[in-house]
Chains A and B, each alone.
Chain A
Amino acid sequence: MDTIKSQQVTFKVFRFNEETDYLPYYNTYVMDVTHEEVVLDILNRIKWDHDGSLSYRRSCRHGICGVCSIKVNGKGILACKSRLFDLIDVFGSELVIEPLSTKRAIKDLIIDKKDFWDKHAAVKPFLVSDIVEHPASEHLVSPHDAEKLLEADYCIQCGACHYSCPALAINEEFIGPAAFAAAYRFSADVRDEASVERLHVVNEEAQGVWDCVKCMECAEVCPKEVNPIEKITKLHNMIFEAGVAKNNVATRHAVGFAHSIEKHGLLDEGELVRYSEGNIGVLKHVPVALKMFAKGKIVLPWNMPKADKLDEIKKLIKSSSTVKF
């Protein structure tokens, strides 16, 4: 017979009631947990056995409604899906339980997700299509076309990626990974007719895909393996393919790589900055460039290194390029 393994864990639980508290505080509970328990079991035990006022969201208990997402030691998780023993493996036996965003806490682990839903709505997260009320046949989507959605439609809107995204934490206009994944989901659907409209939304400076810092946090945190950054890359590609890319620092920065590689095989770092920023914009980088130059960190054009077999690289760029800018 299997013996049930158990371990003592110290839980520090974030507490805050926006109606009565000025500042949040933490309650500490030392509890024995067994290897089959998930975080939600612990929250339930705290509520039922220790403090009935502890508030958190839960519903499906099957990892499909997305409401139970919180953070444990900074890692976004679904409370009903995350096994305690897996967390102990990574973090040891002291676990800090917090809402996804302490800034947005209303009561304990419950946050106000309005910004999340507003941004979600902004990308039209639904199929836009003229429906024939009485179609002669089914509107079939081929398996190949369905595959193009990748895993984008697995999103359960838990918000774990949204509230883990560092770009969003700094720039509140940024649409964020979950809504981008939704934008991709519908724009990549062969039946959809609002693709270009959505691409314009995600192409705007500050709010759009260009402000992503590429930290891969959204790919790491997502409990449903949606891989939002992959969809963000796809949106970048679609922006170029659909010809809606504007001629600005962000797009030139991407295109500049192709030019540079074609010329040298490698990246001409100095030229990339000039190409991206333009002749005037580049001036703001001069102070740093001078400091780097003094330390032997700038390669002058006539010393620019080149990859061997450059002819091979040029040939491949010519034959494999799929987009024009």
Chain B
Amino acid sequence: MEKLRYALFTGCTAKESTPEQMMSTLAVANKLGIELVELTEASCCGASHLQDYDDFLSLVLNARNIAYAEKHGLTMVTICNTCQLNTAMTKHRLDHNAELKAKVNAKLAEVGLEYKGTSLITHFLYAIIDDFGLDKIKEMVVKPLSQFNIAPFYGCHNIRPSELQNETHKSHESAYAPTSLDDLIIACGGVNVDYEEKNKCCGFHAELQAPRTAAILTGNAVAGAMDANADWMVTPCPLCHLKLDTQTHHASVAIGREVSLPVLHMQQMVGLALGCTPDELGLKHHVTKVDFV
């Protein structure tokens, strides 16, 4: 197989509050022989909030990020569900609206850039599943996670709106019965547990504005995984990770029940199965202790 190469859009959290996300992405890419060219020029995607304030500005900034991936002639790979959504949505809007694309390109021309629409955008989860292949992951597993019940937590912005995501990358999954993370858990030798909240919202984006709503959603998610007998949770989204890992105290108070589980990034789970060390995967950076390795 030809070596897989992607333009890596890290997003902001991998550089700040989830350093373990960056570490484990690089460790797993290294193991799988995937080359990641980091888009060091990329700006924040706006995380769906800049969009509320200034939609046009957010389009220009996201188009600029994609333009850099296009310069490399590579598919852009994201490692955050919300970066994935905002970038994919920008691509969709520009590719379907010539007038808007021209307006955005007029701005980009001021800095010598152009958005063409030539690069695909995918999340690292789908790059692993669609491009690398689950069967090959299975073959490479050296430490199967067979003793663990693992609860997948998909995160909204990878699976909804499904039409957008399915046009952006190759995986076609249903927002109501997603399978990618479950399949990945099984490929890593783990046991995937099923629970109602696995494709629900963690509440992250309303944490400051609607703290009670956000805390209840977090609490319900962790409680759902606990009731399904999960040993830990796994998510492809660093924002879900932050919410589920660091906010369990508020969540417990909000739902009137003590909830807490280790929450791993998708990359950390794959890394463990491939034999990376806990240090390489940054497991010591978790607030809810990862005490099983």
Binding site for B on A (CB under 8 A): 73-75, 90-91, 166-167, 170-171, 205-206, 210-217, 219-220, 227, 233, 236-237, 240, 249-251, 253-258, 260-261, 265-267, 269, 273, 276-277, 287-288, 291-292, 295-299, 305, 307-309, 312-313, 315-317, 319-323, 325
Contact A254-B287, Cβ < 8 Å, known A211-B213, A219-B160: no
A316 touches B111 (CB 8 A): yes
Question: Is B18 engaged at the interface, CB distance under 8 Å to the other chain?
Answer: yes
Known: A227-B161, A251-B53, A253-B208. 17 other contacts (CB 8 A): A170-B213, A170-B217, A171-B210, A211-B209, A211-B213, A213-B213, A216-B157, A261-B43, A261-B50, A266-B12, A288-B246, A297-B19, A298-B16, A298-B17, A316-B111, A317-B57, A322-B56
A305 touches B16 (CB 8 A): yes
Q: Select one of B40, B49, B107, B209 contacting A307, CB under 8 A.
A: B40
A254 touches B57 (CB 8 A): no
By Cβ-Cβ distance, the 9 closest A-B pairs, closest first, are A236-B52, A216-B160, A215-B201, A257-B50, A254-B53, A250-B209, A267-B12, A211-B210, A214-B205
> Nearest Cβ distance between residue A234 and chain B, in whole angstroms?
8
Q: Give a binary string over B33-54; 1 marks a CB under 8 Å from any A CB, 0 the rest.
A: 0000000111110111111111
A217 touches B50 (CB 8 A): no
For A320, the chain B residues whose CB sits under 8 A away are 56-57, 60-61, 107
Range of interface residues on chain B?
A: 35 or more
B17 touches A292 (CB 8 A): yes
Question: Is B136 engaged at the interface, CB distance under 8 Å to the other chain?
Answer: no
Contacts A/B (CB < 8 Å), 21 sampled = A90-B176, A210-B209, A210-B210, A213-B217, A216-B161, A233-B52, A236-B53, A240-B53, A249-B208, A254-B52, A257-B47, A258-B57, A266-B43, A267-B44, A291-B287, A295-B285, A295-B286, A307-B41, A316-B61, A317-B61, A320-B60
Q: Select one of B57, B203, B214 contacting A321, CB under 8 A.
A: B57
Measured between alpha carbons, how far is A312 from B108 in the docked complex, in Å? 9
B161 touches A211 (CB 8 A): no
Q: Give a binary string over B83-101; 1 marks a CB under 8 Å from any A CB, 0 the rest.
A: 0010000000000000000
B213 touches A171 (CB 8 A): yes
Binding site for A on B (CB under 8 A): 12-13, 15-19, 40-44, 46-57, 60-61, 64, 85, 107-108, 110-111, 156-157, 160-162, 174-177, 196, 200-201, 203-206, 208-210, 212-214, 216-217, 246-247, 249-250, 284-287
Measured between alpha carbons, how far is A307 from B213 in the docked complex, in Å? 33
A307 to B, closest residue via Cβ? B43
Measured between alpha carbons, how far is A254 from B214 in the docked complex, in Å? 17
A216 touches B156 (CB 8 A): yes
For A308, the chain B residues whose CB sits under 8 A away are 40-41
For B161, the chain A residues whose CB sits under 8 A away are 216, 219-220, 227
